[in-house]
């Protein structure tokens, strides 16, 4: 038995009072042997589910071969994964790091150094959107204009400005010749699964090109097949200069990546940026296995089919409990279901876990977030919706009683 009471972990997370010991597919098991249906997937990480044999085998094989050799030498897994990502994205260069925040740090540094190398040394500003989330390191945090994350960490790095999400007119005013880059999530994840409009992303492409700013898509949550195509920019039909990915890339191992066009890649030259573990062999081998298996099992088709079922069911549940739930938002298998005041999404999360053994998650703005493994089945979605209904019913006031 594991000890839940006396631990030395820093208390910086609000962890639920269960201890997970193993996973399999879309299920997690706690130390008492209880099985939970997982509609969170490690927060949009475990695209192929838990303990996928193909991923485990790739990790094991690589661990028995080479775990780390430093960036002083080349190695096959990083090269192959970069080639595979370039082929599938149409981007030319790939930089590997260890997390989403690090990928965004790299993109921010690239944007400034790219301008600097062109002699455009006044171009320092990084523009991002209200409601965005780009990570917890100081640079990524400075691009995340949210009091909840920023409070008490000042002074944050300078040169960051913010503009309203999905407001092309405001963006037009905000972008000038001092802006090095505009960074945007095609679908805002942490603030409650709020999608950019295609028009806004198109306008951002046009305005960045006009003013010589780089356009960076933070696809850390909505990329890697989460909304169907491998990349969110493919879903929206708008091509940025830089894409950052992380979360699902290695199906659970720590890795992040920045994809760049040849033109902007000259911004970072030997010695300009680096990291000890970035692109190390084991996560890269897992990433390669992820991409291979994705093709073999037709994952995109499953996301598209299951997305229709999930959104159909969410709309039905929302209609059944209009005093508790609002209309679902999002795309693919990234869905947000707003919970109406005075109710709290956290109450629904707890109810579903304790009564139905279904794991749901609360994101920002009192929203339930659904980001199940992309291999989820119709039966599993139906089971999760039953848990959601039971939870909503426990809060809902029957119409007759009003």
| 189 binds ligand PLP per the rule CB under 6 A | yes
Half-sphere exposure of 33 (CA within 13 A, CB side): 0
CB of 379 to ligand PLP, least distance (A): 28
Question: Segment near ligand PLP (CB under 6 A), from 184-192, 201-209, 369-377, 382-390?
Answer: 184-192
Residue nearest to ligand PLP (CB): 100
Which residues, at least 6 apart from 393, have a Cβ–Cβ distance to it below 8 Å?
321
- Mode of pairing for the β-strands spanning 27-30 and 20-24: antiparallel
DSSP H helical ranges for 271-342: 281-296, 299-320
Query: Does 218 qualify as catalytic in the annotation?
Result: yes
Residues in 322-381 at the binding interface with ligand PLP, rule: CB under 6 A: none
Give me the residues paired with residue 97 across strands: 256
Q: Residue 354 is encoded by which pair of tokens?
A: 């304790």
Q: Which is nearer to ligand PLP, 133 or 200 (CB)?
A: 133
Selected binder of ligand PLP within 23, 49, 135, 287 (CB under 6 A): 135
Site string for ligand PLP, 246-285 (x = CB under 6 A): xx--------------------------------------
| 313 binds ligand PLP per the rule CB under 6 A | no
Rounded-to-integer distance, Cα 239 and Cα 233, Å: 6
| 101 binds ligand PLP per the rule CB under 6 A | yes
Give me the residues paired with residue 259 across strands: 94, 243
Rounded-to-integer distance, Cα 138 and Cα 120, Å: 24
* Biggest distance spanned by C-alpha atoms of the chain: 72
Count the residues in the chain: 402
Q: Which is nearer to ligand PLP, 41 or 324 (CB)?
A: 41
Site string for ligand PLP, 204-243 (x = CB under 6 A): --------------x-xx----------------------
CB of 220 to ligand PLP, least distance (A): 4
Check: CB of residue 85 under 8 Å from CB of residue 95. no
Please, what sign has the CA dihedral across residues 48, 261, 91, 283? negative
Query: Does 247 qualify as catalytic in the annotation?
Result: yes
**What does the binding site for ligand PLP look like in residue numbers (CB under 6 A)?**
99-101, 104, 133-135, 185, 189-190, 218, 220-221, 246-247
Q: Which residues are catalytic?
A: 133, 218, 247
């Amino acid at each position: 038995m594991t000890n839940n009471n006396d631990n030395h972990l820093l208390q910086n997370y609000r962890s639920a009072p269960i201890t997970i010991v193993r996973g399999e597919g879309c299920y997690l098991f706690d130390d008492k042997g209880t099985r939970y249906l997982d509609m969170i997937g490690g927060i949009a990480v475990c695209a192929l589910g838990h303990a996928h044999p193909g991923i485990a085998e790739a990790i094991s094989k690589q661990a028995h071969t080479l775990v780390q050799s430093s960036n002083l030498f080349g190695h096959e897994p990083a090269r192959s994964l970069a080639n595979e990502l370039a082929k599938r994205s149409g981007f030319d260069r790939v930089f590997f790091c260890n997390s989403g925040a690090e990928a965004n740090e790299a993109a921010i540094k690239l944007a400034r150094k790219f301008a600097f190398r062109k002699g455009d040394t006044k171009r320092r500003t990084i523009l991002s959107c209200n409601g965005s989330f780009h990570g917890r390191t100081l640079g990524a945090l400075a691009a995340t204009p949210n009091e909840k994350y920023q409070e008490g960490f000042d002074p944050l790095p300078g040169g960051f400005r913010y503009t309203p999400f999905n407001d092309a007119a405001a963006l037009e005013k905000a972008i000038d010749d001092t802006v090095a880059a505009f960074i945007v999530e095609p679908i805002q994840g942490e603030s409650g699964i709020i999608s950019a409009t295609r028009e806004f992303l198109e306008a951002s492409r046009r305005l960045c090109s006009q003013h010589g700013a780089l356009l960076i898509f933070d696809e850390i949550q909505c990329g890697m097949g989460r909304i169907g195509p491998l990349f969110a920019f493919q879903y929206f039909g708008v091509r940025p200069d830089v894409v950052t990915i992380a979360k699902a890339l290695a199906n659970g191992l720590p890795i992040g990546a920045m994809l760049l066009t040849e033109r902007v890649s000259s911004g970072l030259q030997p010695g300009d940026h680096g990291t000890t573990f970035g692109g190390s062999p084991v996560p890269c081998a897992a990433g390669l296995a992820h991409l291979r298996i994705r093709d073999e099992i037709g994952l995109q088709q499953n996301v598209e089919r299951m997305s229709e079922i999930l959104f159909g069911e969410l709309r039905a549940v929302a209609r059944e409990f209009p005093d508790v739930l609002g209309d679902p938002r999002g795309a693919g298998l990234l869905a947000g279901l707003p919970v109406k005041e005075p109710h709290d999404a956290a109450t629904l999360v707890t109810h579903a876990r304790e009564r139905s053994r279904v794991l749901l998650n609360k994101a920002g703005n009192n929203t339930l977030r659904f980001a199940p493994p992309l291999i989820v089945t119709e039966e599993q979605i139906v089971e999760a919706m039953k848990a959601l209904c039971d939870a909503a019913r426990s809060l809902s006031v029957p119409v007759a009683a009003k």
